[in-house]
Structure 1
Amino acid sequence: MRSVVTGAAGFIGSHLCEHLLSCGDEVLGVDALTDFYEPARKRENLSRLLGSERFTLLRADLLKVPLETVFAGTDAVYHLAGQPGVRGSWGTEFGVYLERNVLVTQRVLETARDIGLRRLVFASSSSVYGNAETYPTVETVRPSPVSPYGVTKLAAEHLCETYRTAFGVPVVSLRLFSVYGPRQRPDMAFARLVAAAFTHRPFPLYGDGEQSRDFTYVGDVVTAMRQAALSPWSGVANLGGGSEVTMNQVIALLGRLATPPRIVRGPSRPGDAQRTAADITLAQESFGYRPGTNLRTGLGAMVETQRTARMTSAA
């Protein structure tokens, strides 16, 4: 199977490329290596991939590169590229989110329609729900994002559904719930928390710590993405980790896996939902999604990765 992964150098994208290669796929990774966080980290994410004969990296801007050529002969396109982060989406940076999350997705969809793409998997976000009306949240609940980032992800998702219903583009939009694991983006909570435990620097916790998330391990997410690509089902589905955990519980667990981090508490930030919890019945029934990694195992993998990196740098 020949696959294209946009955002291939990112946290989830690099894990997805590795998973696809392990399944025997030929993978073309596309990434602009933007500076949302250090491009050096993204290059490090790619280091495990560049040695494979079945992986090719194309550094390109998706708004400029001829996508018809990039997608030609492809069995599946996994569209993960975009501008992440809730807090950065307020203010003058909104135009960047609009361009990278909405305009790029529309161009991908136009190309998918024009060339008759066989399969498109789009990485949406639980941020589209905001503070949801019910928990666990099913896909039929009315989305109500509480951040500009969530607004752009919902707009991109609506575009996917519009092209699916109007032109028959075979697209699956997966609403990802708080994905974590090794190589997580440095701005994300788990990455900052694990780093704080090893550097003895304070970890700023916004809110009382009772805000809860449906944390989902990256290995389970990328496995589900390929399952969705192989399935004939199209539509919108949640990908959650199967359990809801508060930040206070995460901090306590980390204290048992590594040095307890020093917590500095502050007020909640605009755009942060109080709670997320996914009903994953639709993904289970449609393409066999079964999250298999519990929080202790997944967080433990992040701790071991950080410990190994520090030992290597000290050697």
Structure 2
Amino acid sequence: MELTDKRLLVTGGAGLIGTALTRRLVADNEVRVVDDLSNGIRDAVPEAATFVDGDLTDPDVVADVLTSDLDAVFHLAADKYVDADRPREQFEVNEAMTYNVLERMDEVGVDNVLFTSSSTVYGEAPRPTPEDYAPLEPISEYGAAKLAEEGLLSVYANTRGFTVWNVRFANIVGPRYGAGVVPDFVYKLRENPDSLTILGDGRQEKSYMYLADCIDAMCHVVEHTDGGMNTYNLGTRTTTSVTRIADIVSDEMGLDPEYEYTGGDRGWDGDVPKMRLSIEKLSALGWEPSYASDETIRQGVRDLLDSPENEPHLR
């Protein structure tokens, strides 16, 4: 589907990825954004987009924002904490939002949807992990919810004729983001430049993708595939360890702290210690990332250091 002169709905459009996607889309399309602002910032939404403050677990809100004149829905809204304090509530909220969106789309005849899934659906899989790897065995409720939501999307693709773009993200890093290992290290070192506590043993190793690359890849998948269930990994060909991230952050801040490790092979229950997605399928579609994983981390640190300390950050 060409992303030009379309009417589009972006759910979760006030978050890190949602605002960047909306900025990309409003240049050539009419864009409506809905967000309950639990993970986002209203002022970060481009003025050219129509904004609705609403909770997608409420069917009435979904009915108001998802109308028959839309050409596609970009469904990004989610409770995003992998180590959530209330995992059952998180699972139920994410499931409810996606089911409400799909039911309403079917009701009004809108049949194009992009869904932002996650590498967490694979669990602790061999690396690099291709899209057709099986069995999918997530180890967190967040990953389990994403996998269940993918199942719902598959139902609508195979029985209602929907076109689904299901993109599974690596770790996304970008300007003004306030969650994740990079901002965590920056904030810790601002408080104590001499010592840095690192969760786990520091050997956790994952793929990090720069936000601009993520948005470009999402749009590329939409514009170059059609019909049925289209599942693509979005990531880089390289990985970065947690200790290497600490080194990059320290270097960019001009510091030489002592590292203190909490121990164990992962940062928290449900954390996948090593992850690298295969992007061969995406590459065959004609797209490659501009930033390797280390370069993504370094640029992300620079973005954070260049932003005012009192500037609100997105998750």
**By the TM > 0.5 criterion, same fold?**
yes
Residues of 2 paired with 1:59 and 1:309: CA distance? 26
Ranked by relative contact order (alpha carbons within 8 Å, sequence separation 6 or more), the top structure is 2
Within-5 A mapping of 1:70-149: 70-72=65-67, 73-88=69-84, 93-132=86-125, 134-142=126-134, 143-149=136-142
Residues of 2 paired with 1:169 and 1:203: CA distance? 48
Q: State the match for 1:308 in structure 2.
A: 306
Residues of 2 paired with 1:161 and 1:214: CA distance? 26
Q: State the match for 2:262 in structure 1.
A: 266
Residues of 2 paired with 1:231 and 1:168: CA distance? 18
Name whichever structure is richer in helix by fraction.
1
Q: State the match for 2:292 in structure 1.
A: 294
Q: Alignment partner for residue 217 of structure 2, among 224, 228, 243?
A: 224
Q: State the match for 2:29 in structure 1.
A: 25
CA shift for structure 1 position 214: 1.1
> Does the 8 Å contact 1:137/1:279 carry over to 2?
yes
One-letter code aligned to 2:62: L
Q: State the match for 1:56 in structure 2.
A: 50
Residues of 1 paired with 2:44 and 2:56: CA distance? 23
CA shift for structure 1 position 118: 4.2
CA shift for structure 1 position 258: 1.8
> Does the 8 Å contact 2:208/2:236 carry over to 1?
yes
Q: Quick one: structure 1 residues 209 and 109, their matched pair in 2 at CA, closer, same or farther if it must change by over 3 Å?
A: same
> Does the 8 Å contact 1:120/1:172 carry over to 2?
yes
Q: Identity over the aligned pairs, expressed in percent? A: 27
Q: Secondary structure at the match of 1:222?
A: helix
> Does the 8 Å contact 1:30/1:57 carry over to 2?
yes
* Structure 1 moving runs of 4+ over 6 Å: none
Q: Secondary structure at the match of 1:87?
A: coil
Residues of 2 paired with 1:122 and 1:203: CA distance? 36
Q: Secondary structure at the match of 1:137?
A: coil
> Does the 8 Å contact 1:197/1:259 carry over to 2?
no
Residues of 1 paired with 2:61 and 2:71: CA distance? 18
Q: Secondary structure at the match of 1:243?
A: coil
The answer as to 2:265 corresponding to 1:277 is no
Q: Secondary structure at the match of 2:158?
A: helix
CA shift for structure 1 position 297: 4.1
Within-5 A mapping of 1:142-291: 142=134, 143-186=136-179, 188-200=180-192, 203-233=196-226, 234-260=229-255, 262-267=258-263, 268=266, 269-286=268-285, 288-291=286-289
- Deviation digits for residues 135-181 of structure 1, max 9, x if unmatched? 11011112111111111111111111121112111111111011112
CA shift for structure 1 position 69: 4.2
CA shift for structure 1 position 185: 3.4
Residues of 2 paired with 1:271 and 1:137: CA distance? 18
Q: How many residues align?
A: 296
Q: Quick one: structure 1 residues 231 and 114, their matched pair in 2 at CA, closer, same or farther if it must change by over 3 Å?
A: farther
Residues of 2 paired with 1:167 and 1:120: CA distance? 12
CA shift for structure 1 position 197: 3.3
> Does the 8 Å contact 1:217/1:241 carry over to 2?
no
Residues of 2 paired with 1:3 and 1:78: CA distance? 7
Q: Secondary structure at the match of 2:274?
A: coil
TM-score w.r.t. structure 1 length? 0.86
> Does the 8 Å contact 1:194/1:302 carry over to 2?
no
Residues of 2 paired with 1:68 and 1:259: CA distance? 52
- Deviation digits for residues 114-134 of structure 1, max 9, x if unmatched? 2222420000000111100x2
One-letter code aligned to 1:12: I
One-letter code aligned to 2:291: T
